[in-house]
A = this chain, B = another copy of it.
Amino acid sequence: MQLFEKLIEYPEAERLVLERTPRAPVEETPLGDALGLVLAEDLSATVDSPPFDNSAVDGYAIRSADAEAGRVFKVVDEAPAGRPATKSVGEGETIKIFTGGVIPEGADAVVMVENTSGWGEEFELKKVPEPGNNIRDAGQDTRRGEVILRAGTGIGAPEIALAATQGYGALPVYRRPKVVVLSTGTELVEPGTRELSPGEIFDSNSFAIVAQAREAGAEARRTHAASDEAEVLRAALEDALQSADVVVTSGGVSVGEKDLVKSTLLDLGVEQVFWGVKFKPGKPLFYGARSETRFFGLPGNPVSAMVCFDLFVRPALMRMMGREDKKRPRIRVYFEEDVTNTFGRMHAMRVSLKRTEKGWRAESVGAQGSGLVSSLTKADALALIGPESEGVRAGELVEAIVLREEVVLG
């Protein structure tokens, strides 16, 4: 019987995962699909923005030297956005102009229509403008050639707007990692398809892991293979390793006789980076690499699988995308009462959070059994307890990884 060769501590496992995770390939991605991704290169302005002096309002372009309350100006042309006037503005003349319209030659100010007698073939000036009034100068936002967005910038709506003003139809970004979640186990039934027979359960892990991967920004899909049919499992694993950046399984990586996943992986040329982490819940975690593809064998217990995802897979996906800025917030929390940890390894304890005068108070969500899926729906954070002590004393501060950001933002 094979036992874990060498259990490592959580911080070392986290370090190994990040150290062995490459960036995702850079892809020119259509502007509309780049939301949430990260620029892989500096982006420079291709044009002055705005490209020409233009009107900030609807009104009349005039020579400010002519401006005098009550003076009547004669309309000689118009300049809607997109269609520059063909005439220029002479003394006492004006050109109707609309927001975004090119400032016509001769004019150096725009009078808002609200400050005139209104639209017509001529108008009377009611409020005298200063030179430059209501004119947006060419290049006032960005100048051709200057770097407008640095490599490493996360693409949100403002960055999309800025890149669009410069005519970028696509952006060089680290593409979304492709994640394949392999669900293994003959006892698993697809939810919504039929009732359970004795000994069966509904597959939940693969749905949860796909959701976690998508929350992290990855493209993820499920695939199913029974874990005790060696050939079927081997083919499914090989297929996943070839088509994905990250392959995730749950179950099949413990030390049981039926756990074929790990041995099949090694057969398929996956290098074992580590197997076994000294923390609860999640000891049998397996991490491996084959060329640019990374493999995470998560434990089969639903809570263990989801916690391991959060602690290891999510940071790896963030690193692939260059999204280190979006990692889970960490805060210091305390408990009202002593909390013991007699497991001899770090315990990532599911807790709810409450802001008090003393800071963030954590409270266990109740039983911490690793089959208790409902406990995760109640957890705001994972409090990291141990391993260096047998628990924490009431009031003592410990680190916690926040799972629900709205709780600490609220």
| A100 at the B interface (CB under 8 A) | yes
Q: Are A406 and B326 in contact (CB under 8 A)?
A: yes
* A196-223 interface with B by 8 A CB criterion: 196, 198-205, 207-212, 214-215, 222
Q: Which residues of B contact A98 (CB under 8 A)?
A: 256-258
Q: Are A207 and B161 in contact (CB under 8 A)?
A: yes
| A240 at the B interface (CB under 8 A) | no
Chain B binder among A13-21, A49-57, A264-272: A49-57
Closest to A371 in B: B136
Chain B binder among A112-120, A338-346, A356-364, A388-396: A112-120
* A104-137 interface with B by 8 A CB criterion: 113-114, 118-119, 136
Q: Are B255 and A84 in contact (CB under 8 A)?
A: no
Minimum Cβ distance to chain B for residue A239 (Å): 20
Bound state CA distance, A209 and B214, in angstroms?
A: 22
Binding site for B on A (CB under 8 A): 1, 3, 31-32, 35, 47, 49-52, 56, 58, 79-84, 96, 98-102, 113-114, 118-119, 136, 140-142, 148-149, 153, 156-170, 185-193, 195-196, 198-205, 207-212, 214-215, 222, 228, 251, 254-259, 300-302, 306, 325-326, 329, 367, 369-374, 376-377, 379, 402, 404-406, 408-410
Q: Which residues of B contact A165 (CB under 8 A)?
A: 201-202, 204, 302, 373
Bound state CA distance, A114 and B257, in angstroms?
A: 12
Q: Are B114 and A255 in contact (CB under 8 A)?
A: yes
Interchain Cβ contacts under 8 Å between A and B, 6 examples: A31-B191, A56-B369, A80-B186, A80-B228, A99-B254, A113-B255
Closest to A85 in B: B199
Minimum Cβ distance to chain B for residue A233 (Å): 14
- Choice from B158, B168, B259, B369 contacting A58 with Cβ under 8 Å: B259
Bound state CA distance, A80 and B203, in angstroms?
A: 16
Minimum Cβ distance to chain B for residue A230 (Å): 14
- Choice from B161, B190, B211 contacting A156 with Cβ under 8 Å: B211
Minimum Cβ distance to chain B for residue A28 (Å): 10
**Contacts A140-B371, A163-B191, A405-B409 given: A199-B158 contact, CB under 8 Å?**
no
**Contacts A50-B201, A191-B164, A192-B31 given: A158-B409 contact, CB under 8 Å?**
no
